[in-house]
Amino acid sequence: MLYCFRNTQDTFKMINYRHVFLLFLGISLWSCPLFGNAGESPATVSFPIAMRVDLDYYINTGCYLKCQGKKHDMRYNDMLLEDEETATILKPLIRAIINDDFGTAKNLAWKASPADKQKHEELVQAWMGSCRNMFLNSKMAGSNFDFFNVIGKFYIGDRMLFACEVKKHGLELTESQPFSLYFKKIEQDHIVWDVNSPPATISLVNETLRQRAKSPSQFLLKEGLATTYEIPIPGTLSGRKVYLQFDRGKKYDFRLLTDKADSSEEVLCFYQKKFHAARDGRREDIAEMYTNRSCERFLDWLETGNKSYLDWYFQDLGNSERYVRFVINAEPLFVILSQRGPVKTLIPEYVIRDQADGKLKLTNFYIRGFLEKLLEDIEFLKVFNEFVLQ
């Protein structure tokens, strides 16, 4: 399970003068160039993006999320000695959680809505409860942090994220548990801890951390990775930018109803069958193109959906001209981006190579994970169009 935090304007009320000095030092570090002098390029880390298929299993796509930061994989106590931001920003929160100090934790937490005091306190209590259970199960108390690691410190837009984990050990914890704590600078000189829902970029990082704990060799964080395509993600453009990365893709100007796909274009040939089936009235054939659960959902939709809407949908699918503009090849994931006639908005759809039989299949029918939410965001699609298709 992953946990997400920040800290608040009331920080100074609950820490001593030494901590005040260190906190201002941390703030000045925040505003400095990352990991080095101003003339140096900032260090970057790329997180392999995990995609959940049919709310069932995860695949490691060929896409990455690139951000500024550094991978440490270091024991927490060692990290405190090496990194000022860990000592000044992370340590007070960890100490409050371990000591079950609700007052301090509440003062550290950012109140997104000043008027909603009850919700704010409930969120703080929920996060503290989850973290304390994990910490106590691994016998973390006092200065005993033997099994507490800091995976890395990363910068995502206007946020600083500490990726951590409690390492598996003995009978107490049979599987490593990753969690993330993230902070944000608000106004001029306040660093806050967030107990609210994270943005999609941080959710994707959290998902990678979970899968990394289960399959470390499959979800490796890569430092300094450069790829062919790097698309800046809206919502991070005013801070330290985060990028969607992938190496392979191809532009098209392909009419799905009237053009003939070359036999060498495996994904295009497969995807075109959906539109030909709609044109010919073979609705169940489209269902068979999906992964198992999506197929079931599609067939249920055909049976229980509004008949007038279904008729309009399939008539539109089988008669309105649609153009494929780009295919992201992130084997085993392929993202097909198309446009309807004169409408410029890109429409993403997802095809995977099924791990069971090696065949291409449409997937996630009316299912949206964190990757889909990112790729279907209107602002992201505008940036994609500008950087890739123009």
d(CA 74, CA 371): 29
Give me the CATH number covering residue 71.
Answer: 3.10.450.50
Do 99 and 181 fall within a single domain?
A: yes
Choose the final residue of a domain: 246, 263, 279. Answer: 246
State the helix-helix crossing angle for 91-98 and 117-137, rounded to 10 degrees.
80
The answer to whether position 2 is within a domain reads: no
The answer to whether position 1 is within a domain reads: no
The answer to whether position 90 is within a domain reads: yes
Do 226 and 265 fall within a single domain?
A: no
Choose the final residue of a domain: 246, 263, 293. Answer: 246
Tell me the pLDDT band of 25, cut-offs 50, 70 and 90.
very low
Mean pLDDT over all residues of the chain?
A: 85
Do 378 and 315 fall within a single domain?
A: yes
Choose the final residue of a domain: 246, 266, 283. Answer: 246
The answer to whether position 262 is within a domain reads: yes
Q: Lowest-pLDDT range, 17-26, 251-260, 307-316?
A: 17-26
Do 162 and 14 fall within a single domain?
A: yes
Model confidence, pTM: 0.85
Do 215 and 260 fall within a single domain?
A: no
Tell me the pLDDT band of 13, cut-offs 50, 70 and 90.
very low
For the chain, what percent of residues have pLDDT higher than 90?
Answer: 60
Return the closest-CA partner of residue 43 out of 180, 160, 154, 183. 154
Tell me the pLDDT band of 139, cut-offs 50, 70 and 90.
low
Domain coverage including residue 99 = 9-246
The answer to whether position 4 is within a domain reads: no
Phi, psi of 370 (to 5 degrees): -65, -35
- Does 196 or 371 have the greater pLDDT score? 371
Range with top average pLDDT, 57-71, 78-92, 120-134, 144-158: 57-71
Q: Is the pLDDT of residue 35 over 70?
A: no
Do 80 and 47 fall within a single domain?
A: yes
Domain count, the chain: 2
d(CA 326, CA 242): 22
- Does 78 or 112 have the greater pLDDT score? 78
Q: What is the pLDDT of residue 66?
A: 98
The answer to whether position 3 is within a domain reads: no
Please name the residues in contact with 111: beta carbons below 8 A apart, sequence gap of 6 or more: 8, 117, 120
Do 169 and 96 fall within a single domain?
A: yes
Q: What is the pLDDT of residue 135?
A: 76
Q: What is the pLDDT of residue 24?
A: 40
Tell me the pLDDT band of 204, cut-offs 50, 70 and 90.
very high
Q: Lowest-pLDDT range, 35-44, 46-55, 188-197, 240-249?
A: 35-44
Do 228 and 188 fall within a single domain?
A: yes
Q: What is the pLDDT of residue 227?
A: 97
Do 94 and 215 fall within a single domain?
A: yes
Residue 106 one-letter amino acid:
K
CB atoms within 10 A of CB 126: 12
pLDDT tens digit string along 322-364? 999 999 999 999 999 999 877 788 999 999 999 889 999 999 9
Do 181 and 48 fall within a single domain?
A: yes
Q: What is the pLDDT of residue 238?
A: 80
Q: What is the pLDDT of residue 172?
A: 56
pLDDT tens digit string along 147-200? 889 999 999 998 899 999 987 765 555 678 899 998 988 776 778 888 878 889
d(CA 147, CA 175): 12
| C-alpha distance from residue 386 to each of 105, 127, 227 (Å) | 43, 40, 18
d(CA 227, CA 249): 11
Q: Is the pLDDT of residue 40 over 60?
A: no
